[in-house]
Amino acid sequence: MALKSFLSKIFASVVVKGINKWKFDAVAAQEDTLRNLVKEAANTVFGKEHHFGAIKNYQDFKANVPIRDYEDLRPYIDRVVAGEKDILWKNKPAYLAKTSGTTSGVKYIPISKESMPEHIKAARNALLTYIHETGNASFVDGKVIFLQGSPILSEKNGIKVGRLSGIVAHLVPAYLQKNRMPSYQTNCIEDWEEKVDAIVAETINEDMRLISGIPPWVQMYFDKLTEKSGGKQIKEIFKNFQLFVYGGVNFEPYRAKIEASIGKRVDAIETYPASEGFIAYQDSQTEKGLLLLANAGMFYEFVPTEEFYNEHPTRLSLAEVQLDKNYALILNTNAGLWGYSIGDTVKFVSLNPYKIVVTGRIKHFISAFGEHVIGEEVEQALLSVANSEGVEITEFTVAPQVNPPVGELPFHEWFIEFAKKPANLTSFALKVDEALQQKNIYYFDLIKGNILQSLKITALEKDAFVNYMKTQGKLGGQNKVPRLSNDRKIADGLEKYMNA
């Protein structure tokens, strides 16, 4: 056993003992976090305006701090971006993470000197818990790759600005730097296709053991590796490849194709990082769900999704959540986000310890006819049928068709790029529709009541989604295709890529 892998097992054991101290006492950890956050921000502009000095408990906090999205917090964030101190959090942020929003345009998410280490620690601990559970540490002796955005940072009023993955690239621990790929020069390439080509050239002859990235862009990397190698599978190119780390989207729709590209099943670790904070990671290869990080400088709140748009929705702390119920996730962070709706929905699959699965986006659903179909439901319906029939999905999205041809009922239109097509597309669509009816009673009622007709599938040509994302300037990096829309904007853009 190499020295680095030997030492990593010892380090993993120490770290996991520390995690277990709060893992099974997460409610107390959250109560401490809330007290500390309120205390540290009491003298900020936001803290004074929201009477932080008088807040003694969670009930006080809810009474003083409303739920907000980015636009609601923007007056404060604009002052932060302008270089003012002590607005949302102490002093100025260390960084501003630049993201793109559907309604807000470019967004700047503050990252403080207190919150940045939590991002790094969580990513590290995801790997260490894997090592501790499996005993497999040999990947640390080979090369690792993180498919991420450019590390080039700009500056606004004395604050460094960049994509989260680009910021993190500057803070990778020293013990990983020697083995990390691609090179800094390659990582700085802005054009995604050019960048992936350069990464392939740099890595194809290396001993890659850990690969990390968002699944659709990792698949692009694998496709280009296979092409350059003359058709080899990834297991032939990287004989010691053994661990895939991903986040940002559900892996299941991509699993079949990615594993076919690799030529074998490899261990995978799911993570839940966001510019706002590193929220959870998979801490077990045998248990479902992601461990919610209750001791990472964030106080979480949960709003039942059916109440989210109410004037006064129910707000719950970790102590009050229930299993198998969808919640909108609200963050309060040590970078100064308060009552902040991150836009994601989650469901608890364990309460001891607290583990979640991400079920979708609060704004990504279809309810053009009152059905309120969510991402989790469409993914499970599609995959249940695809897996039973040996069908492989590259990517998909769903939109309502509210103006069908004359004489037809409205329907949901599914745009699917198949890696392996069904033998009979019409039969396949009917089975998916039946599976969706079983998962969503409102959709079932609309179908049975002849308000909607069964879903229709529009098969797309190879690389349809890659080409579509390219036209939107969102190819690669942390960009993802929304699974669901209530309008036809994405659908209209995909129609040009229909199979003839």
CATH classification at residue 136: 3.40.50
Rounded to whole angstroms, how far apart are CA atoms 196 and 183?
A: 12
Residue 320 lies inside a defined structural domain of this protein: no
| Burial profile 164-192: b = 16 or more Cβ within 10 angstroms, e = fewer | bbbbbbeebeeebeebbbbeeebbebeeb
Decide if 198 contacts 238 (C-beta within 8 A).
no
User: Domain total for the chain?
Assistant: 2
Decide if 294 contacts 33 (C-beta within 8 A).
yes
More confident residue, 191 or 413: 413
Question: Both 143 and 261 in a single domain?
Answer: yes
| pLDDT reported for residue 120 | 93
The parent domain of residue 442 ranges over: 365-497
Q: Is 70 exceeded by the pLDDT of residue 167?
A: yes
For the stretch 168-177, contacts whose Cβ atoms lie closer than 8 Å and that sit 24 or more positions apart, written own/partner, are 168/119, 168/120, 168/123, 171/116, 171/119, 171/120, 172/120, 172/146, 173/120, 173/124, 175/4, 175/140, 176/140, 176/144
Question: Both 401 and 265 in a single domain?
Answer: no
Residue 361: band (very low, low, confident or very high) from pLDDT cuts 50, 70, 90: confident
CA-wise closest residue to 345 among 302, 386, 377, 383: 302
pLDDT average, residue stretch 455-476:
90
Pairing of strands 243-247, 208-212: parallel
CA separation, residue 308 to residues 303, 313, 370 (Å): 6, 6, 16
Rounded to whole angstroms, how far apart are CA atoms 254 and 205?
A: 25
Residue 46 has phi, psi (to 5 degrees) of -65, -45
Decide if 493 contacts 472 (C-beta within 8 A).
yes
Question: Both 263 and 369 in a single domain?
Answer: no
Residue 379 lies inside a defined structural domain of this protein: yes
Q: Which of 210, 240, 273 is the last residue of a domain?
A: 273
Question: Both 267 and 389 in a single domain?
Answer: no
Q: Is 80 exceeded by the pLDDT of residue 39?
A: yes
Residue 400 has phi, psi (to 5 degrees) of -80, 145
| pLDDT reported for residue 103 | 46
Cis bond before residue 353 (omega within 30° of 0) = yes
Rounded to whole angstroms, how far apart are CA atoms 247 and 347?
A: 17
